[in-house]
Structures are given as C-alpha cells and as structure tokens.
Structure 1
C-alpha cells in the first residue's frame, strides 16, 4: 500500500502538464486518470466494468453516485471514469499548493459547504451553474466517507439535492466488496485482486422537487445495495478461481 500511495502521488504530479489542454476543453479528470492507469498498471487488481456505455451515452451534466470503500477506489474510478467528469471539493482546498493546480486543471468545482437542509442554497446553485456552463458530470460518494465494513453507510443528500436542482439524471455505479483480496483493518492484500464495477440505469429527476428527495435517496440506495450484494458474491467466487489458478501455476 505504501508503493500504491507513492504511485498515486507520482501519477498526480505527472498528470499536471498533460492536463493543461483538458482544462480548456472541459475534459474533467479523464486525461489525469489515463496517466494514473498507466502508472498503476503494476498493481495486480483487475476491474471488470459493466455497462460503461451508459456513462458514455449520457450527454451533458449528470450526477454519478458511487459507493466508497478505500483508496483502492481510485483504480476502479480510473477504469470507468466517463469523459467530461469531475468532482466537487471544499473551497478551502484550492489554496493547498501543488494539489490545487492538479485539481483546477481537472475542472474541479470548488464550493463552500452545502447546507444540510433540502432546497436551494448558494453553494448548490454555484455547483449547478458550473456543471451547466461546462457540460460536466459530477462524481460523488454519497456515503460521505470511506468505510471498511460490508454494506453501505447512510447516503447524504447533497448529490440528490444537486440532481433535482439541475433536473439532471443520477447515474449509480456500484463497486463490489474488496474484502476477498484487501482489508485495511485486518492488514492483508492478496494479489491478484478482482472487482466488478456495475453501472446502473440512469435515474431521471425531471419534474421532481426537493420534497421527493427522501424517497429518491431510498430508492437509489436500495438499487445500489441490491446490486452490491449480487456482484460482491460473484467477485468473491472469481477471486477464488483466479487465486487457485495462480497457485497451480
């Protein structure tokens, strides 16, 4: 993992000059992730991306919601990151030397903290305006933080507030459990690793209001959790098969 973290830092540094053109073409983090994929090719974790054409077929702004497990999520992100997609960060982070330049070149949207209440607020409207102006998708972890246990944490409402404010679709992406090959708490990393990233059908928000958010959050989370359970079982079986083949060789 130390080598992996070093790879992340090196890739981010190398991506700075390459990302200069992407800033002006509003390409988001696409080119930066191409650099990371190349630098991290030594990490023996394969990610099978399913239905990526859904991400590519949605033109214009959208909110991509994804479950968050660990820093290894960057590998899965690199494999299924859509074109013209970026992230949202706290406004204070744009003053962090080095990091801020890389983030700015990836068209990161810096905003002040969102309101905890449903409904419009300056930070939300600022993010929506930037998305519309640049035609960007936003990648969000609705759990708010990574966790290392099976299943999901409760979803925060920020991503759903944004989608309804802009009346744009929500695209759920589910990444299978890493437990068969990686656990930070139990301190193991069993190569080769295998994970599945499943893109689900877009959830439209046209016509919905802020009053619909609780039900929308529940429906999207339930869909993602159901898919997570299914693909995690499949990924675990495939990991056992791959490990068995590697040992026999």
Structure 2
C-alpha cells in the first residue's frame, strides 16, 4: 500500500480568519453576479439573439467564463486551490453523459468552468431560488421533474449534441462513507444509448460538504483535484441474452460505483 504523505500543518489563526472573510465575500459576489447575469446580460441576449439554440450556447459560454473568473478569484485570495487532469477530454463529449462524484458544493462550478457545453439537471426547487433561477432558465437546464418527461428531454438534448452533467449520488457525499449511486443516470444512458464520461473529484481537506457550513473553514487550504477518466460505451451493458433495460441499468450503476469508488480510494492513499 502506498504511504500517505505527511499531513500539511494547520494554518495560522490569521490565515484561517482571512479565509473565512474571503469565502464569505466571494460567495456574496457569486450571488450578486448570478443576479446581474439573470437580470441584465441574459435579458439582453433574449432581446438581441432570436435563435434559441444560439442564445442557450451564448448563455452557457457566459456562465463558463464567469465560473473561471470566480475560481481564479478563489485561488488568488487563498480560499482554495485546484488542478485538472486530462481536462482536454471534455472537448470530445458532445452527445455524452458526464457523471461525477459530488464531495463539495463547488463541483458543478469546477466542471462547468471547463465543459464547452453543460446541460445540467437541476432540482425543481432551484427554480424558486431568486439567485439562480434566471441562470437555469436562460441556460436551458433540465429540471428534475417527472421521470418519463425528463428521460425524453435528455434523449433529445443528447441527440442534438448536448452534454449532460449528472451527479448520480443525488446529494453531496458524506465524507468517510461508501459511495452510493442512484440509477437515474444509468437509466438515461441505457435508454439513450449514449456514452458516459466519468469524472473523479477529490478535495482534501473536505470543504463545503453537505454537513458543513460555509464558514466552517478547514485548518488548511483545500486542494481540489478533478480527474477526467476514460469514456464508457454503455452498449456493452446490453447483453444478447438479457436485453432488459432495468437490469442493464443496475449493472451499469454498479460499474460506475466501483469505478468512482476505486479512484476515490486511490486518491486517499
């Protein structure tokens, strides 16, 4: 077994205090930026660009560049650091599901900042959030509503060359627990016969987890590592002697769980 590296010593009291203040300021900026994009820029696009597909792409380009600026600010002010491995693979994923584990609130921001197109599936409740609902509607994101309707929307989006990002855990990972994936992502992949791109996200020490508040700053500056793994051909999970989509989805879900859990374990060694 590989030996763990020596742990980084805790930051000074002054450094941790600064990171609390900077984190609060940056997330306030994130919320205000979302409102400005929704109320000003996206409304201008709606007036100036009549073609809906072109407007959605311009909206997603704006989101991607905004997220890059936000992450660069987080790095500049010492709140966190991040690195991507094989991010160029995301340029090859038109008509593909991108599936990732979900350790932090920033996972979507990290991936959407690098994906040329990101057709995200969001919770229906977010459409009532004043800070993000305008962004969701302008970008053409898919609301997680009725399953059959969502499945058909995903099929159409993938067939048109879209790239759908899904976190199949359904919520952020609880640190130290076994990875558990829901079957929704596998069902979409099997029934759409689309490939899957796996992405492993690792954050050490954990930050912005499901249980943690934004002001619960880790003792050391968090380091995010985003590894873009190989693509999976979902057609191989439909065997000639067993063509049931439900059983194929179960096998695929187990395969995805093993792959993401294996990489997660390797990252901790």
Same fold (TM > 0.5): yes
Identify the residue that residue 228 of structure 1 maps to in structure 2.
Answer: 264
Cα deviations by residue, 1:30-60 (Å, 9 ceiling, x for unpaired): 42131132134332322211111221122x2
Shift of 1:2: 2.7
On the 8 A contact 2:179/2:257 being kept in 1, the answer is no
- Paired residue secondary structure (1:156): coil
Cα displacement string for residues 150-208 of structure 1 (whole angstroms, at most 9, x for unaligned residues): 35431001111111111101111101133267772793334543221011111111263
Match among 169, 172, 176 for residue 198 of structure 2: 172
Structure-2 residue corresponding to 1:110: 143
Q: Does 1:206 align with 2:228?
A: no
Q: Assess, with a 3 A threshold, how the Cα gap between structure 1 residues 182 and 105 changes in structure 2: closer, same or farther.
A: closer
8 Å contact kept, 1:70–1:148: no
State the Cα distance separating 1:78 from its structure 2 match. Answer: 4.5
* Root-mean-square deviation (Å): 2.9
Residue 179 of structure 2 aligns to a residue whose secondary structure is: coil
CA separation of 1:2/1:23 partners in 2, compared to 1, >3 Å: closer, same or farther? farther
Q: Secondary structure at the match of 1:229?
A: helix
Q: Following the alignment from structure 1 to structure 2, what is the Cα–Cα distance between the partners of residues 88 and 170?
A: 15
| 1:143 aligns to 2:169 (yes or no) | yes
Secondary structure at the counterpart of residue 176 of structure 1? strand
**Kindly tell me: are residues 159 and 150 of structure 1, through their superposed partners in 2, closer, same or farther at Cα, counting changes over 3 Å?**
same
Q: Report the structure number with the largest CA radius of gyration.
A: 2
1:46 aligns with 2:81: yes
Number of the residue aligned with 1:187: 216
Aligned partner of 1:5 among 21, 27, 34:
27
Q: CA deviation at 1:63?
A: 1.0
8 Å contact kept, 1:182–1:190: no
Q: How many aligned residue pairs are there?
A: 224
Stretch moving more, 35-44 or 139-148 = 35-44
Offset of residue 125 of structure 1? 1.6
Give the TM-score of the pair, scaled to structure 2. 0.71
SS in 1 for 2:262: helix
Q: 1:93 to 1:179 in 2, by over 3 A?
A: closer
Give the SS at the match of 2:248. helix
Q: How many angstroms apart in 1 are the aligned matches of 2:157 and 2:234? A: 19
Residue in structure 1 matched with residue 182 of structure 2 by the alignment: 156
Deviation at 1:210, TM superposition (A): 3.2
- Aligned position for 2:111: 77
1:67 — aligned with what? 101
Residue 97 of structure 2 aligns to a residue in which SS?
strand
